[in-house]
Structure 1
Amino acid sequence: MADTHDRLEAVEKAVEFFNRERVEHVLHAGDLVSPFAAPRFKDLRAELHYVWGNNEGDREFVRLRFGELGIKPLGDFATLELEGRRIALLHGTHQPIVDSLAKSGLFDIIVRGHTHRAEVIGEKTLVVNPGEVCGYLSGRRTVALLDPAELSAEIVEL
């Protein structure tokens, strides 16, 4: 998921969806935006991996509010290993960085946000943009269901 932009009811829908699907890990590629949105993740049963976007104004207070839920923001960039796959998680503000990561061969999967455009591209390295949970730019509230073992992802409209 990415680009929630304080759309609280959409965050709640996403949490309900992830719980219903019994998702084990949720990767958030940034732009939660305000501290008051963090508590909306309190009912999430999956482990949340969260990186900063370019619109978080008060990162320290966002960190504090997530900390109350036992969640630690991972900074601007994170690397994870899930189901034997190396994953890069970033907001993706700078396209040349995303392109370089995809070409580097260091990662099996790159999860990014920022553009608000849902897409799954690539073969050797899968680049997943779940779109926008907020739906402000596209009119669609989307997340992606990622299957690291199969190196596949599906865009899902909430």
Structure 2
Amino acid sequence: MKVGIMSDTHDNLPAIRLAVEFFNREGVDLVIHAGDYVAPFVARELSKLNAPLKGVFGNNDGEREGLREKLGIKDEILTLDLNGLKTVVLHGTDERVVEALARSQLYDIVIRGHTHRHGIQEVGRTIIINPGEVCGYLTGVKSVAILNVKEREIKIVDLENGDILGLMSL
């Protein structure tokens, strides 16, 4: 199973298009969005994904009813089983909550966004994945992550030049 991970798209349609094209080329089985879509009109680009989309609300998602209707987003925290990997997804606005989820060791993977900074971090047996920002507004880097469950690998990729920004084996 290959999982595409994105966050902080912030209405940047050309950047969302890059992410969708990348995930479709990679043949991901699922795409997870860690929040901050912002407005429902992003559904037009996200609907071009060849894989199902699951996600959570972020702190800048003002039109929640529209996002709920167009994308099926319902929650601020989502738990998933990714072929045996217990996973929790949240936007990560409160660092204390992200840290508590990781330190609890209840999850193999914590997926978060909000900071716009990509990274992979180990906390005991738990891995925290932040794919960075698709929009590129704060860091200038448009990035996503791929979690390859079968290969037991996480990589963060720059959407504009294909550079690998982070890599970790599980």
Answer whether TM exceeds 0.5 for this pair: yes
Q: Which residue of 2 aligns with 1:79?
A: 79
Secondary structure, aligned partner of 1:10: helix
Counterparts of 1:102 and 1:131, CA distance in 2: 18
Q: How far off is 1:79 after superposition?
A: 0.2
**Residue from 24, 27, 51 that aligns with 2:32:** 27
Q: How does 1:130-145 map to 2 (within 5 A)?
A: 130-145=131-146
Identity of aligned residues (%): 49
Q: How does 1:61-72 map to 2 (within 5 A)?
A: 61-66=66-71, 72=72
Q: How far off is 1:149 after superposition?
A: 4.4
Kindly report structure 1 stretches of 4+ aligned residues shifted beyond 2 Å: 147-152
Q: How far off is 1:62 after superposition?
A: 1.6
Q: Which residue of 2 aligns with 1:125?
A: 126
Secondary structure, aligned partner of 1:86: strand
1:16 equivalent to 2:16? Answer: no
Counterparts of 2:98 and 2:109, CA distance in 1: 11
Q: Which residue of 1 aligns with 2:162?
A: none
CA RMSD of aligned residues (A): 1.1
> Which is strand-richer, 1 or 2?
2
CA contact under 8 A between 1:49 and 1:74: conserved in structure 2? Answer: no
1:100-141 superposed Cα distances (whole Å, 9 cap, x missing partner): 000101100010000000000105101000000000000000
Counterparts of 1:2 and 1:151, CA distance in 2: 21
CA contact under 8 A between 2:68 and 2:74: conserved in structure 1? Answer: no
Q: Mind listing any 5+ residue stretches in structure 1 that lack a counterpart?
A: 67-71
Q: How far off is 1:98 after superposition?
A: 0.3
Secondary structure, aligned partner of 2:17: helix
Secondary structure, aligned partner of 2:44: helix
Q: How does 1:38-77 map to 2 (within 5 A)?
A: 38-66=43-71, 72-77=72-77
Q: How far off is 1:60 after superposition?
A: 0.3
Counterparts of 2:29 and 2:51, CA distance in 1: 5
Letter in structure 1 aligned against 2:125: K
Q: Which residue of 1 aligns with 2:88?
A: 88
1:27-49 superposed Cα distances (whole Å, 9 cap, x missing partner): 10000001111221111011111
Q: How far off is 1:65 after superposition?
A: 2.0
Counterparts of 2:68 and 2:41, CA distance in 1: 11
